[in-house]
Amino acid sequence: MKVLLVTSEAVPYAKTGGLADVLGALPRALAQLGHDVRLVLPKYGTIDTAAHGFKEWGRLTVPTVSGPVCVVVEEGRLPGSDVAVFTIGHDPSFARRGLYGEAGADYPDNLQRFALFCRATLELLALAKAPRWTPDVLHAHDWPAALGLVYLRSLYARRPEFTRVAGLLTVHNLGYQGLFPAAAFPVTGLGNQFFTPKTLEFYGQVNLLKGGLVFADLITTVSPTYSREIQSPEFGFGLDGVLRERGDRLAGVVNGIDVDEWNPATDSSLPARYSASERAGKKICKAALQKELGLPVRDVPLLAAISRFTAQKGLDLIAAVLPELMQLDVQVALLGTGDPPLELQFQSLRMQYPDRLGVRIGFDEILAHNIEAGADLFLMPSRYEPCGLSQLYSMRYGTVPIVRKTGGLADTVVPYTPQTVAEGRATGFVFSDATPDALLTSILLALRVHANPSEWASLIQAGMALDMSWEKSAKKYEALYRRALELRAG
């Protein structure tokens, strides 16, 4: 199949979160299955396309409500693959320091920016350039690309080359929907018939993600549990009714991870390498992490979290239990940035317990790898988590996760019970209620199990043995593409 992946970010070019990791890995995995895959994203000011070997492919004139706009298209290759990558360049729209905004504020013209990006993507496909390449599937990701699916079925619906193109929308996080004032709707170039409660109108606002949900042939989320959760008012962010209505077109596929980049046996950022069969290097990694964070090098349980410091990620729950944890013979390592009150709270606790708590505000990719390798337990008490990657990294690195039962965390971590550990299936600890007491109870259970070397080894072994590669996930997308094509064919 010919597949076009449309995204606002992808590693190694532009990243704000897990979306970029997925779009850096999924295209390669699909290509390895034999598909003709291409990727398109905006050319942000932070992308040095020359350094990545891009060359100008051509120039497009894109129709907009303000008149024709000229964009520059550059072409390169995704590292380690033959996947063609196209960037849509328009300096007034994209040559900025941020992707979506700066200093915590969204750019006020984001609707114009991503409407231009989506129309330019379709103009790129429609351009008569031999040999013409028309995808079988247009796979859009999150709200910045969702308008492309609306355009496919509206402004470009009468173009014969697009009639049979199937549209797939993947929702990585329903909490981000692309909401804009109703007065800005004309910027989309769509007629008023598309600004109704059945289409893009959402409580008096424009909702780009809703448009994608309505016009996609199939909708996916990044875990089966999350695909069910978002059909409920608690997790639906106002779109649960739309999702229930399209429930027969909704599926969940758990993300994979880059098993070459995240491999403790070959990870060059670690002070020592190790594997499931030979784990001695993990102790060296733990000692090195303790030194890096200014903690005494001691053989005590080391708990860690790498996260945005937000309530969605449950970091307030960690903050609430830390004073009690500090009374135990344990150490805790925290890496991340987020809500200023939580940052200050963690820094204050660090000053109170300098021998038990290590805190780094910010993000450091090498330190993240070293925390995954050096910790014994990894905390992910998220209130909601569409998929989550850190629990996968942790299990791969022999670090046992403690997670809340939600979204992808529920789908990827087999909870410890006497039966699951006896069967060699348990990979972590799972709790249900988003409360400090529930988190603390799960931590205390984990610490008791940690004191039992044979049970602990079983948890580590089961986690490190899991197949977390993108190949398995790519095969599920492959099946969904075929289903979307069948639906499009009628």
DSSP assignments along 222-262, one per residue: SSHHHHHHTTSTTTSTT-HHHHHHTGGGEEE------TTTS
Burial of 333 (0-12, 13-18, 19+ CB in 10 A): buried
Alpha-carbon distance 131 to 115, whole Å?
27
Q: Which of 88, 344, 325, 111 has its CA nearest to residue 206?
A: 111
Residue 20, C-beta contacts closer than 8 angstroms, at least 6 positions apart:
7, 9, 10, 11, 13, 14
Task: Output the pLDDT for position 131.
Answer: 63
Alpha-carbon distance 302 to 46, whole Å?
37
Contact 21, 27 (CB under 8 A): no
**Is residue 130's pLDDT more than 60?**
no
| pLDDT > 90 in the chain, percent | 94
Average pLDDT, stretch 267-277? Answer: 97
According to DSSP, the residues that pair with 379 across neighbouring strands are 402
Q: Which CATH class is domain 280-468?
A: alpha beta
Q: Which residue has the tokens 């891009």?
A: 54
Task: Give Dmax (Cα) for the chain.
Answer: 70
Element of type H or E holding 374: helix 365-374
Task: Output the pLDDT for position 99.
Answer: 97
In this structure, what are the phi and psi dihedrals at residue 166, rounded to the nearest 5 degrees? -85, 145
Average pLDDT, stretch 330-340? Answer: 95
Task: Output the pLDDT for position 17.
Answer: 83
Task: Output the pLDDT for position 27.
Answer: 97
What is the pLDDT confidence band of residue 299, given thresholds at 50, 70 and 90?
very high
Alpha-carbon distance 269 to 9, whole Å?
25
- Three-state secondary-structure class, residue 17: coil
Contact 346, 334 (CB under 8 A): yes
| pLDDT > 70 in the chain, percent | 99
Positive or negative, the CA dihedral 175, 380, 12, 39 is: negative
Amino acid occupying residue 432: S
Q: Which of 328, 455, 309 has its CA nearest to residue 379?
A: 309
Contact 233, 201 (CB under 8 A): no
Rounded to a whole number of angstroms, the distance between the first and last alpha carbons of the chain is: 18
Q: Which of 140, 42, 157 has its CA nearest to residue 100?
A: 42
Average pLDDT, stretch 213-242? Answer: 97
What is the pLDDT confidence band of residue 114, given thresholds at 50, 70 and 90?
very high
Residue 447, C-beta contacts closer than 8 angstroms, at least 6 positions apart:
301, 328, 330
Q: Which CATH class is domain 2-256+471-489?
A: alpha beta
What is the pLDDT confidence band of residue 403, given thresholds at 50, 70 and 90?
very high
Can you give the residue ranges of every domain in the chain? Answer: 2-256+471-489, 280-468
What is the pLDDT confidence band of residue 465, given thresholds at 50, 70 and 90?
very high
What is the pLDDT confidence band of residue 203, given thresholds at 50, 70 and 90?
very high
Q: What is the mean pLDDT of the chain?
A: 96
Task: Output the pLDDT for position 127.
Answer: 77
pLDDT tens-digit profile of 350-401?
Answer: 999 999 999 999 989 899 999 999 999 999 999 999 999 999 999 999 999 9
Same fold, 2-256+471-489 and 280-468: yes
Token representation of residue 145: 């690309």
Average pLDDT, stretch 20-28? Answer: 94
**Is residue 132's pLDDT more than 90?**
no
Q: How many CB atoms lie within 10 A of CB 299?
A: 8
